[in-house]
Amino acid sequence: MRVEKETLKVGEICDGAELKLKVVKVSGDGGPVVAFTSSIHGIEVNGFEVMRRLYQAVLDGGLTGTLIFAPMVNPLAVAMRSVVTPLDSMNLNRVFPGRAGGTLTERIAHALSKYLADSGVEYLVDFHGGGYCCESAPHAAIVDVGDEELLEKAYGMAKAAGFKYAAVLRRAELEEELRLKATLDASFMRRGVPSILADFGSWGYQERYIEEVVRGLINMLKSLGALKGDVEEKPNPIVVERLWIRANRGGMFYPEVKLLDEVPEGGVLGRVIDPHFEEVEVVHSLMRGVTLLIRNYPPVFTGEEIAMLGVARSGIHEQGL
């Protein structure tokens, strides 16, 4: 086993100080190359701790593949507790695979993409979460780029990792949501690399999810042949579509549902109270679904997300809600 701690140079900030990405590569003996990335959005940091524990676990032995850890992909956003890159206000997860001669954010995307591609990455897990305003229940999101075999492989990763829900973003939805085309996981799916976006938690570390996710990913690494050991058979994740529910009025949001609640069509998700202490909106669910994300920071303005529902869909492996 070989451990390489590398530093990727991206560019310079105003005083000439270098902007760098730190990555760790742990190489075993001939198995697949699996990459983990986190903190593309600077307030979603649970993936850092998941990776640190995976790194410690593989140092204890049993590694057959190569693991790449990029635990802090957007250090400027992490430093400023920001979703976007503070210096150019761009959302890093909307510009992949990036451009060598582009903005600072596009160059971060390019440096990471090039490093992963040059390393021969064969599987990718990118960590996200609900950030400072929301909390996500652990689930995987998979971008369907029109290759059924690839989709099956990514779904297999989500299953082995023990995720109960897999939100599959279909091509038609992507055409409507152009921004989702340029995520890191989507860009690697387009290169033929099975990729999942692992979404869980809020800002900071949530221990109630971390250990469960680490155990799941160890099982996934065994199933991919990157780690020795018996693979535990997990149930098929329920395939859902993601439905964002947004506030129409501004005020303070009072949720009336918890994470992973099943809500009927028209069910009450919460209420918005304005600074006159008037109830200005009762937010209803547009469809029957399960709450995969809930706003836990009360202030809300028109158009902000207050929940994300997983809505069961027909298609592969559907088990219904």
Residues that bind Zn ion (CB under 5 A): 41, 44, 128
Token digits of residue 67? 């693991």
Residue whose CB is less far from Zn ion, 44 or 135? 44
Residue whose CB is less far from Zn ion, 76 or 312? 76
Smallest gap, in angstroms, from Cβ of residue 41 to Zn ion?
4
Alpha helices in the chain (DSSP H): 46-59, 75-79, 104-118, 148-160, 171-176, 184-190, 207-223
Q: Any residues with CB less than 8 A from the CB of 224 and at least 6 apart, and which?
A: 31, 32, 34, 65, 123, 157, 160
Residue whose CB is less far from Zn ion, 123 or 127? 127
Instruction: Burial-class residue 233 by CB neighbours within 10 Å (0-12, 13-18, 19+).
Output: exposed
Smallest gap, in angstroms, from Cβ of residue 129 to Zn ion?
7
Which of 183, 143, 132 shows the shortest CA–CA distance to 297?
132
Distance separating alpha carbons of residues 205 and 241, to the nearest angstrom: 27
Smallest gap, in angstroms, from Cβ of residue 93 to Zn ion?
6
Residue whose CB is less far from Zn ion, 28 or 203? 203
Smallest gap, in angstroms, from Cβ of residue 121 to Zn ion?
20
Smallest gap, in angstroms, from Cβ of residue 240 to Zn ion?
18
Place of tokens 């986190």: 38
Residue whose CB is less far from Zn ion, 182 or 218? 182
Residue whose CB is less far from Zn ion, 46 or 291? 46
- For residue 119, the tally of other CB atoms under 10 A from its CB is 16
Angle between helices 207-223 and 46-59 in degrees, nearest 10: 50
- Do 162 and 215 form a contact (C-beta atoms < 8 A)? yes
Residue whose CB is less far from Zn ion, 44 or 144? 44
Smallest gap, in angstroms, from Cβ of residue 183 to Zn ion?
9
Residue whose CB is less far from Zn ion, 26 or 186? 186
Smallest gap, in angstroms, from Cβ of residue 90 to Zn ion?
14
Smallest gap, in angstroms, from Cβ of residue 251 to Zn ion?
25
Which of 181, 79, 174, 186 shows the shortest CA–CA distance to 124?
186
* Residue whose C-beta lies closest to Zn ion: 128
Q: Any residues with CB less than 8 A from the CB of 234 and at least 6 apart, and which?
A: 159, 160, 161, 162, 216, 219
Write the DSSP symbol of residue 73. Answer: S
Smallest gap, in angstroms, from Cβ of residue 128 to Zn ion?
3
Residue whose CB is less far from Zn ion, 33 or 51? 51
Q: Any residues with CB less than 8 A from the CB of 138 and at least 6 apart, and which?
A: 163, 164, 198, 199, 200, 201, 209, 212, 213
DSSP-derived 3-state class of residue 257: coil
